[in-house]
Chains A and B, each alone.
Chain A
Amino acid sequence: MKLELVPVVRYWDYNSKEIFAVVDRIRESGATTMAAFVPWSHLETDRYHLLQKLVKQCASSGIKLRLGVTPELGIGYTNGGVPDELLRDRQNLAQDRLGHPFYACVPPNIHPLVSLLAPSVFQRYGHFLLKITQELTEVFSEGFEAEVELVVTDSLFKHYRNTGLAASDHGDFSLRHMQFGAGYKKEEWTPALAERIFHSRAFDFLESRFARHPNVKVTSRNLFARESSHGRLLEELIGSGPSHADLFREIVRARSSCSVAWLDDLFQLRDRERNFMVSSSLVIFGEVWMNEHDYFTLSPGFRAKMRKLINGFSTGETELTRPAIALSQNRFAPAQISALLQDKLGVALKLKTSLADIDAVERKTAKLFVVEEGYNLELRQTMELLSLAKERDCTLVLFRSSLCEAGLKELKKLKTFRLNHGWLFEIGIFPGGGHVLLIEGQESSQLSMNTLGDSLVSVARIEPFCMFDRGESGVMSVSVDWNLKDETPEEKAAGDMKTLFLMNPGAEARKITLEFSRLVRIHGMSLGEGASTETSEQGYGKCFETELPPLSVIPLSMMVERLAVVAEKREEDGTPAELA
C-alpha cells in the first residue's frame, strides 16, 4: 500500500523562473511527487516549452512527475484544455440520450463537453499525443533523467451525465459517436465500450512510444472528480461551495471504481473540514491529488501529520482490505446487487466493467466475485471465472440470466445443491474450497430485490470485519491488513495485525459500538456489551465502545485472533448447513 499526497501544478501559469520556485517549494514541503495536467490546447501552442521546463526542473530536483494526459475538468484551464475550434463544431459535442449537450459548469468557464470519440476530436487528440511524445523525448535526449508517469485517466467519460437523468441513461449518445461505433458489430455499442476504445488507444500509443524509456511509465487510472453538472452550477451560483459531508459520501462511493482522488476545489471549506477531507481521502484512496493552492493552504502542522501517516503506512507490508469485486455493466449505474454490496461493504468493493480489468493480484487475493444480472458472459469468460473458484477458496456469484447455454452446461457438470433463502440459490463447491452461487433471478423469488443483498451476504458468509450502527451519522470504516515480513511463526499464529480507520464526517462527536467478526485485542478501548470480562490495559473481545471526535479520522491498531482451523474434511458437495 502506498499513500501519497500529490500537489498538482498549473505550470502554464508560470514563467521559467516561477516554475523553478514552485518545484523548489514543493520539494521543501516534503513532497516527493507532483502532478500536472497537460492542457491539450496549451501544449499545441506552448511557445515557451513550459512543459519541458517543468520536466527538467523536476529531474534536477529529484521529484517524480505525474502527467495527466487526458482532458480533465477543474484543472483551471479554459474548456478543460480542449481546443476552442473543436467546440465550435456542433457535431463534435457530446449529447445525452435526450439530445441535450453536457455542460461543464466549473471555473474557469462554462462550456459544452466534446465527444472524445467524435472523429475530428479523436484525430486531433492523436496529434496531441504525438506532440507530448515529441516534447518529452526532447527532454530525455538532452540527458535529463526525470521519472515521469503518464497517466491516462477516465477523462470526460465520467462527466457525461446530466442531472435529472436516470443513471442508466448517462453516457455520450451523440450521433457521430454512435457512427464511430457502427463498425463494432461484435459487441453492443455502449458508452462503456466507447470509453474502453478511447482509453486503450491512448494507452497503447503512449506505451509503444515510451517502451524504450525506462524512466517513463504509462499508467491507467480512474480519477474521482467532483460532479460538474447542474448541481455544481447551483453551488457556484449561490456561492455555497461543496458540503464536506456530501463530498465525503461521494468519495466513499467513488472508491469502488476510482483509484485516485482529484480534489480540485477545497478552498471554500473550513480548515478542519478541509483537513478531514484530505486525511480521509488519503486513507480511502491512498493517492490524493490536490491543486497546489489548496496544498499550500494546509498548515505545516497538518502536513507533518500527513507525512507521518504516509511514512507509517507506505510499506510493502500494508494493504487496504478490498476483497470483493463486482462486474458491472455501467459505471454510472451499478445494478442493485452491486449497490447493495457497496452499502454493506463500503470501500471493500471494487467495481469493474470488464473481466480484463481484474488484474493478476486481484485474481489471486479477492474473496468474492459478483457478476451483475444482465451482464452477459461468454463461455470463455464463464470458464475464466469458474477457474478462479476452482483454484482457491473464494466465492463466485452469478445470475442464471448472465450465462450462455454452454456456460450453463459447464455449471451442470459441477455437483450442486439448491438452497432457498427467500431467494433461490444453486450452490456448487469445488474441492479447493471455492464456491459458485447461481442466483435464479427475480422471477423465482417472491421477495423484493432489496432483500437479495442480505440473503447473499448470509449465504456467501460475507461478513464485514467490523460492524457498527451507522445510522445517518455517515461514519465510515476502512481496514488495512499488515503482513509483517519479519514475523516469527509463533507471532503469525497469534493472529493478524490490522489497522482500522474510523472516520466521522459529522460536526458532532459520535459514540459508536464496534462489533468485530473475530476476537481482537486493541489498546486503550472501553469494552462494550458482549466483550470478554478479562480486564487489562488492552481491550480484548468482539465488542467495543468508542467516541469519535467531530471531523476525525482515528486509526485503531489491533491484533485479530485467527479462527481455529476446522480439521474435519468437508464433503465434496457440502451441505446447506455449512453454508447458510
Chain B
Amino acid sequence: MELRQNWHKFQRILGPLPPKKSGLVLLLSHNRVVAGAVGFAAGALSRSGFRDLGRQVDDMTGAWDDLSAKYQCAGASFIDQRELLNALSQVAAVRASAPATDHFHAQVARLRELLGVERGEKSRLATHLGERPVEHFWPRKNFLLGLYRSFFGELFPERKLLLVGVVNSPDSFDSLLLEFQGAEVKGFSEPDFSGIDWKGLDLFLPETAARFVAWCENHYVLPAYSIFLSRRVWDEVRTAQMSHGEKAAWRLLQKIRSQRDVEKEVLFEPEPWPMKALLRWHGMRG
C-alpha cells in the first residue's frame, strides 16, 4: 500500500463504534496504576478523564468495586505492564523486509486480540472484570471490516483490495482502499483518483465503479472489489450497528441493496457469485 494514509479519515469512516456501555482500561505496574483511560458509551453524559494514576491495586476486585461506582463503568480491563511490553515487542516487531512494521490498525487489532477482547477469551495480558462479554465495554469494530470473515471469504484470493466509497454528492465522495490478507485488514490508503474524470457521473452505475476498480487493480496489481454507498445509507447502517449490532447492520444493508424501483444507493462492483453468497450469508446469519 502506498503511504497516503490518513488515519483520521479511516477512523471517521471505518473507525470503531463506541461501546454499548462505558468501560475502563488500566495499566498496572507492581500493583500500581501507571496509566488508564475511560471508554465512553455513545450516550455517556460525563466525559471526564481518568483520575486515579498512582493508585495502589492490591486486590483487583476491591479496586473494581470502587472504580465502577466512580466512573460509572460496566467493566474494566487490568493490563500488566510487563506483559504489555512483551506484547508490544511482538506487535511492533521490526521485520527485515519492508515495511518494517505493520500498520496501526493491524497492530491495534492484534493487541485487542491478545487482550482477549474480540471473543472474550482468557488472556495472559489482561484481567477483565465486570459485565460479560467484554465486548460490552470495548469499542466495536465496524461491520464492513469483517466482510471476508466467513466460509465464503475463503473463496476469494488471499490478498485483495476493497474500495469503500461513501458518496456525499455527485461531486464528492470519501474513498478508502483497504488491503485484506485473508479476512484481516493489513493496510489502507487514500487512492489518488485525480486521473479519473468522474465528477458528475453516477457513481452507482456499475460501469463508473468499474473504472475505479480497474484503476486500483492496475495500480496495486491485486484483485479489487468495491462498495459504493450514499452517505445516508452509510449513516443508517452505522446507526443500526450501534443500536442493534453487526447483524442488524448487514441485514439493513442487504435490505437496501435488494430494494427495487428506487434510486440506487448501494453498489458492489464486481459482484461475482462468491460476493453475492458472502453478502447473503452476512444478511442471514443469526
Interface residues in chain A, defined as those with a beta carbon under 8 Å from any beta carbon in chain B: 12-13, 15, 17-18, 42, 76-79, 84, 87-88, 100-101, 103, 105-112, 163-164, 229-231, 233-240, 243, 245-246, 265, 267-268, 293, 507
B39 touches A239 (CB 8 A): yes
A237 touches B29 (CB 8 A): no
CA distance A556 to B126 in the complex (A): 50
Chain B residues within an 8 Å CB radius of A107: 7, 104
Whether B284 is near chain A, meaning CB under 8 Å from some CB there, is no
Q: Which has the most chain B C-beta neighbours within 10 Å: A13, A15, A110? A: A110
Provided the pairs A17-B194, A237-B111, A237-B112 are in contact, do residues A88 and B37 lie with their beta carbons within 8 angstroms? no
Leading 4 A-B pairs by shortest Cβ distance: A243-B49, A238-B39, A107-B7, A164-B34
Shortest CB-to-CB span from A267 to chain B, Å, is: 5
Other-chain contact of B92, A76, A88, A103 (Cβ < 8 Å): A103
A-B contact pairs, 8 of them (CB 8 A): A76-B7, A100-B85, A108-B103, A237-B108, A237-B115, A238-B37, A240-B38, A267-B11
Interface residues on B, range: 35 or more
CA distance A112 to B92 in the complex (A): 7
**B58-78 CB contacts (< 8 Å) to partner A:** none
A245 touches B49 (CB 8 A): yes
Whether B262 is near chain A, meaning CB under 8 Å from some CB there, is no
* One of B94-102, B206-214, B216-224, B243-251 contacting the partner: B94-102
B84 touches A230 (CB 8 A): yes
Chain B, Cβ-Cβ closest to A111? B101
CA distance A164 to B84 in the complex (A): 12
Shortest CB-to-CB span from A510 to chain B, Å, is: 15
Chain A residues within an 8 Å CB radius of B48: 243, 245
CA distance A111 to B12 in the complex (A): 23
B94 touches A164 (CB 8 A): no
CA distance A236 to B138 in the complex (A): 11
Chain A residues within an 8 Å CB radius of B156: none
Chain A residues within an 8 Å CB radius of B103: 108-109
Interface residues in chain B, defined as those with a beta carbon under 8 Å from any beta carbon in chain A: 3-9, 11-12, 15-16, 18-19, 23, 25, 27, 29, 32, 34-40, 47-50, 79, 81, 84-85, 88-89, 91-92, 94-96, 98-104, 107-108, 111-112, 115, 138-139, 190, 192, 194
Q: Which has the most chain A C-beta neighbours within 10 Å: B85, B89, B96? A: B85
B6 touches A76 (CB 8 A): yes
B8 touches A110 (CB 8 A): no
B112 touches A234 (CB 8 A): no
A163 touches B34 (CB 8 A): yes
Chain B, Cβ-Cβ closest to A105? B88
A237 touches B6 (CB 8 A): no
Provided the pairs A13-B4, A108-B5, A267-B8 are in contact, do residues A234 and B15 lie with their beta carbons within 8 angstroms? no
B35 touches A234 (CB 8 A): yes
Q: Which has the most chain B C-beta neighbours within 10 Å: A76, A106, A233, A240? A: A240
Chain A residues within an 8 Å CB radius of B89: 101
A230 touches B194 (CB 8 A): no
Chain B residues within an 8 Å CB radius of A112: 92, 94
CA distance A265 to B49 in the complex (A): 16
CA distance A32 to B9 in the complex (A): 26
